[in-house]
Structure formats: structure tokens, C-alpha cells
Amino acid sequence: MYTQSLDLPGQPAERPLADASVADRQSAFDARMAEDAKIEPMDWMPDAYRKTLVRQISQHAHSEIIGMQPEGNWISRAPSLKRKAILLAKVQDEGGHGLYLYSAAETLDVSRDDLVDALHTGRAKYSSIFNYPTLTWADVGVIGWLVDGAAIMNQIPLCRCSYGPYARAMIRICKEESFHQRQGYDALLAMMRGTEAQRAMVQEAVDRWWFPVLMMFGPPDAASTNSTQTMAWGIKRISNDDLRQKFVDATVEQARILGVTLPDPGLQWNAERGHYDYSPLDWEEFWRVINGDGPCNRERLATRVKAHEDGAWVREAALAHAEKRARRTQAKAA
């Protein structure tokens, strides 16, 4: 099962190379990269590899945690008991993903307090998509279908990431994301088989989310500052633009079955390329949103900071309890 412990079954607790020079350690690391082997927390790794993993994994964790808000907003207004139970489970799953990912980041010698502080002070990024509002119940279905769908497309290759704890965490996360995507599609299908007003509500939600979802994959490859290095290190396996294209190609047919129109007049099959063409995205909007000026950035961050502050007593009580138990165990042993 999933574990945060640093030892692996069948491997010595201390990896060889403890006394090796930096050059030897670098060549051992390069050899592992060349054979596409996993890097584990006890292995030596270049500082830049460690830093970029901390950056990507912690930003991913922040996205899952902030990502609870847009749908959490609808839990008390879900249209039926069944939809409410499903949505509650989904939002809790996202919280769980954030916790696995913080734990994976902690294996890289960073403290969770520092990571959380970076989010709360606006120094760390989280996914652009969670800065858009959820105005109607159809938005909840569209998040499941498109946002979770894009997340799966991006995260399946991360199950093969070179860093073991991140790759293993992604396997379980992807399984759960699949349920999320299906529940969203199912909710939308129910609405599309409903009244004219419901169908219009779904179409209006798709119109608002389509382009921001395509931007989730990150800037075009030419503007992606991290990709060349992270792909060389086997962290990212497929580029931003290639993942975006795979997502567009997969989604067009799903939209047709659902009966919605994707809001892009430039979307058309290109037989020569064997892919759908789509219109250029508004990258100015993307940079504005990730730099803090999207429709909901301030609200999302303020809600998160308040939740953290409101939960201080729980953390303090848990620590006091742990200390009391440790004192009791010590007293018994004495």
C-alpha cells in the first residue's frame, strides 16, 4: 500500500555511495536516469532535481486543496441526496490527494509548514482553473467532466515519473480522478436528458469553462520554462501542448454524445495532422490569472487562510495529545 516511510522492501536502508564523491554520485544518478529507473528518497539527487520536484509536487498539492472550494460551494445546494453524497465524497477525495502530495513532497526534506506558508503568502502557485467561479449546478458537472478529465490526461503520465513517491501517489489519485470524471459526465447527461432550461444551463457552463480548461495544461511548449529539464529528468513525460492536443482529441466525441457544442469556431478535424485544430488561446488571461488577478484569486486564498486559522485548535490539540502519550510511554518505560 502507500507509505511515506523512506525504506523500501528488499533494499538496504543505507544506499551505497554514502562515501562517494559528488561526481560519482552524479554519474550514478545519470545512469539511473538513462535506464529510466526510479529515484527514491534515500538516493542522492542533484539539488535542482529536488527543488523542481518540491515546486511541482507542492503546487500540485496546493491545487488539490484550493480545488476543493469551487465544488465545495455547491455541497449544501446539490439537487438530490444522491448527488450530494457523490459530491461530498469527491471533494473529500481532493483533500486526500492534497495530503498524499504534501507527504510525497516532505520526502524531499521540506516541511509541510513551509509549503503551506508559501501558499498562504502567495509565493507558491496553484492551478489557474480554480480561480474561476461556479455559478450554477451545471458547473459542478462540467468541473468533473472537463477539469478532472484534463487532470487525468496530465496525471496518467506522472504515474511513470522518475521520482518514486510522486509516481506511486499518482496511481491512486488517477483512479479516484476517473470516478470524478465519470460522475461529472453522468450529472451532465442527466441534465441534457432533462428540460430545455437544464440543457441551456449545461451549454452555458461549457462555454465558460472550455478555454480555461485548455489552459490548465500550462503555457505553449515554447514558453514552458521548466519542460525541457523536467522532461530530461523523466518527471514530465509528455509536453504541455501534446497533452492539450490529446485532451481536445478525446473530448470532441464526448461532447457530441452529450449533445453540447464546444465554443470554438476554429475546432475542426485536420486529416493531414490526424488531430483536431483549435483556435489560439488567450495567454494574456492565463498569465493574469496565475499572477493573482483572476476572477476568484483573492477569495480562494482568503478562504483557505481562514480555514487554516480556524483549524489551529485542532492541530494544537493533536500535538498536546501526542506529547501526553509520549510522556506516558516514557514514564512506563522508566
Contact residues for ligand FAQ, defined by CB under 6 A: 55-56, 59-60, 63-64, 67, 94, 125, 127-128, 143, 147-148, 151, 154-155, 215-219, 224-227, 230, 236, 240, 290
Q: Cα–Cα distances in Å, from 171 out to 2, 157, 164, 205, 328? A: 10, 10, 11, 30, 39
The residues with which 277 forms a beta bridge, in sequence order, are 268
**Shortest gap between Cβ of 107 and ligand FAQ (angstroms)?**
17
Task: Give the shortest CB-324-to-ligand FAQ separation in angstroms.
Answer: 36
Residue showing cell 521540506: 110
- Of 224 and 303, CB closest to ligand FAQ: 224
Looking at the Cβ atoms of 204 and 221, the one nearer to ligand FAQ is 221
Choose between 77 and 328: whose C-beta lies nearer to ligand FAQ: 77
* Residue whose CB is less far from ligand FAQ, 199 or 208: 208
Least separation in angstroms between residue 158's CB and ligand FAQ is 6
The residue number with the shortest CB distance to ligand FAQ is: 67
In the bound state with ligand FAQ, the residue whose beta carbon lies nearer, of 125 and 182, is: 125
CA–CA dist 209, 128 (Å, integer): 12
**Phi/psi at 115 (5° precision):** -65, -45
To the nearest whole angstrom, how small is the minimum distance from the Cβ of residue 180 to ligand FAQ? 6
The residue among 128, 86, 310, 314 whose CA lies nearest residue 216 is 128
Q: Which three cell numbers stand for residue 295?
A: 476572477
CB of 60 to ligand FAQ, least distance (A): 3
List, in order, residues 6 or more apart from 252 with CB less than 8 Å away.
262, 267, 276
- Taking the complex as a whole, the smallest distance from the CB of residue 19 to ligand FAQ amounts, in Å, to 35
Q: In 3D, which of 252, 253, 250, 279 has the Cα closest to residue 264?
A: 279
Distances (CA, A) of 234 to 28, 51, 68, 97, 228: 16, 15, 29, 22, 10
Q: Residue 120 CB, nearest distance to ligand FAQ (Å)? A: 17
Q: What is the spatial distance between Cα 90 and Cα 183, in angstroms, rounded to a whole number?
A: 9
Question: For residues 229 and 261, which CB has a smaller minimum distance to ligand FAQ in the complex?
Answer: 229
Nearer to ligand FAQ, 161 or 199 (CB): 161
8 A C-beta contact, residue 145 and residue 190: no
